[in-house]
Structure 1
Amino acid sequence: MTRAEPTEARLALAPGARVGIIAGGGSLPVEVAAGLVRQGHAPFIILVDGEVDREADFAEYAQERLALEQIGSLVSLLKRQRISHLVLAGEIRRRPRLSKVRPTLGLLAIIPSLVVALARGDDGLLKMLTRGLEKRGITVVGAHQVVPELAASEGTLTTAAPRQSDWRDIQAGRAAAKAIGALDIGQAAVAIGGRAIALEGVEGTRGLLERTRDLRGHGRLAGKERGVLVKCAKPDQELRADLPSIGPETVEAAHAAGLAGIAVEAGHALVLEGPATLARANALGLFIVGLPAMEPANGQ
């Protein structure tokens, strides 16, 4: 089965629009940049120092490097480069150290809000950042708005489809993922045998799947088959940044953990390196399914 057409409408960019990408780790910023070029918009890349692992893929683009602790100079950089739209793309593995942040007049004004946002977790920090940028005339857009083909479509995206028992796991995993998402802890859960057995923490999805693999030989999981990884956006999440994502490595890790498949929310999750991800899932016999974003998961 081939992947369905995306339901998200592509963001209409004016001819003179200049789009910047704050690039972290992984393939997402690379795919966003390539999507913009296909639309006739050459992006300006802001490489987050120490986070980008595919720098060679940005060699052809205008770019500048920025440390997290230089966040106070971000707005002036965007204005200097005449950036009208900004995409936050890629994994940022650490937070800025406030003790090393270089103060500016603009940053000093929002330091109290920054401290509160850091205390509230990743989503609180992202919301503060996007609102602060938009107050200064920068339109923040999501990767799924610029390159909607990255967004997961609704339905089964692979040759293999969930069994009836898998739908029980999907429901249990989705409920657990939403619960930890409400606490801004993580976006994913693994369910086996109709109950959640592992939740995503600061170690991310890779660590979650490694724990699941290690648990296979212990206690109530001994001899259990199948199981599902479910990734969901957090309730009230800032959807323009940090959407849940899966890629070829997720498929490999899910297979190594003995899982039967992966479920994500259609339109609220990204399938990175889509053809490779689906091809690998098909080769390994895993299913990938896009769930209705606003409705309970079911087998219909």
Structure 2
Amino acid sequence: MGARAIIAGDGALPGLLAAAGPALTVRLQGMPGGTAGADIVARLERLGQLFNDLRAAGVTELCFAGAMRRMPVDTGLLDPETQALLPRLTAAMGQGDDALLRDIVAIFEAEGFAVRGAHELRPDLVAPAGAIHGAARPDGDAARARAVLAALGPLDVGQAAVAGQGQMLGIETLQGSDAMLRFVADTAPGSRGVLVKRAKPGQDLRVDMPAIGPDTVALAAAAGLSGIELQAGHVLLLDPAALGAACAAHGLDLWAVP
């Protein structure tokens, strides 16, 4: 069996996946999290070199983990392999994050690497159905947020939304769910609303699977929310023990539904 590599962005997830077994860490220059501690440092403009470095290390299996962002491409640094892929990647970028990520996965698969999801390596981190902390409660605001996410999913918009008192208070966009929660805190404090996090319909869960950690709980509490609803089997719990402690400290219910 070949080696595994984690293509790491920012946040706790790369470290949690490394705990699942031996793995090399790959970091891209310019991405969140920096390159400290990387076994392989790569550039987006030199994918051919990355493919060669992975093969030289015996890597056959990859997992993408952590927050990443789109970066400008320095065309003067392109290697021949990336130059050939550039029209394809440029077209995918124009179709949204899901299309871009699917295309990146397809490129690595075409090079012979198997792409695995974080939920496959750490199934213990996947949100189970029912109460995770406090009560699992039917909630009209949560149902409204779910409906909005279902409608916007085909447009590649957001994995999270907030509803309160029958109104939509926030929808995740490019700025991310933390920015959305800060917006809700500024514009609708004390709503006692609900944050809903779900995968987009048809989303490839091997990349960009929704995740929640203690920081999100703290931001939800600061926004005056009363609970958080997740999609069972489709959201990762980053540090479940700390997540439960944060919910207890802030008095928030956390539950998951299909």
Q: TM-score with structure 2 length normalisation?
A: 0.93
Give me the identity figure in percent.
38
User: What is the deviation of 1:187?
Assistant: 1.0
2:200 pairs with 1:230: no
Q: 1:264 to 1:47 in 2, by over 3 A?
A: same
- Tell me, yes or no, if the aligned pair for 1:227 and 1:258 is still in contact at 8 Å: yes
Kindly indicate whether residue 66 of structure 2 is the aligned counterpart of residue 86 of structure 1. no
Matched, 1:214 2:199: no
Q: Structure 1 CA distance, aligned partners of 2:242 and 2:13?
A: 14
Question: What's the CA shift for 1:128?
Answer: 0.4
Partner of 2:215: 249
The gaps in structure 2 that reach 5 residues or longer are none
Give the aligned partner of residue 39 of structure 1.
none
- Consecutive unaligned residues in structure 1, runs of 5 or more: 1-15, 37-41, 218-223, 293-300
* Contact 2:169-2:188 within 8 A present in 1 as well: no
Structure 1 counterpart of 2:18, from 33, 52, 55: 33
Deviation, 1:179, is 2.6
The Cα of 1:88 is off from its aligned counterpart by: 0.1
Runs of 4+ in structure 1 off by over 6 angstroms are none
Q: Give CA-to-partner distance per residue, 1:149-194, whole Å, 9 cap, x none.
A: 1111111100x21545xx1111111111223332112111101023
Please name the residue that 2:256 is paired with. Answer: 290
AA paired with 1:155?
G
SS at match of 2:20: helix
Deviates more, 1:177-186 or 1:239-248: 177-186
The C-alpha deviation readout for 1:29-61, integer Å capped at 9, x for no partner, is 01000122xxxxx101002224353877xx5xx
Q: Residue type matched to 1:105 in 2?
A: P
Matched, 1:106 2:81: yes
Measured after TM superposition, the shift of residue 101 of structure 1 is 6.6
Give 2:5's match in structure 1, choosing from 8, 20, 29.
20
**How many equivalent residue pairs?**
258
What does residue range 132-143 of structure 1 map to in structure 2 within 5 Å? 132-143=107-118
**Is residue 142–residue 239 contact of structure 1 (8 Å, CA) maintained in 2?**
yes
- With the length of structure 1 as denominator, give the TM-score of the two structures: 0.81
1:13 match: none
**Contact (CA 8 Å) 2:231, 2:257: kept in 1 or not?**
yes
Where does residue 70 of structure 1 map in the other structure?
46
Q: 2:94 aligns with which of 108, 112, 119?
A: 119
The answer to whether the 8 A contact 1:69-1:97 is kept is: no
Asked if 1:175 is matched to 2:160, the reply is no
SS in 2 for 1:78: helix
Cα distance change on mapping 1:233 and 1:290 into 2, 3 Å: same
235 and 279 in structure 1: CA distance in 2 versus 1, 3 angstrom threshold: same
How far apart, CA to CA, are the structure 2 residues paired with 1:163 and 1:108? 52
Distance 1:216 1:287 in 2: 19
DSSP 3-state at the match of 1:120: coil
1:69–1:96 contact (8 Å) kept in structure 2: no
| Matching of residue 145 in structure 1 with residue 120 in structure 2 | yes
Deviation, 1:67, is 3.0
**Match of residue 297 from structure 1:** none
How much is the aligned-residue C-alpha RMSD, in angstroms? 1.9
**d(CA) in 1 for partners of 2:87 and 2:75?**
16
Counterpart of 1:48 in structure 2 is: 28
State the AA in 1 paired with 2:62: L
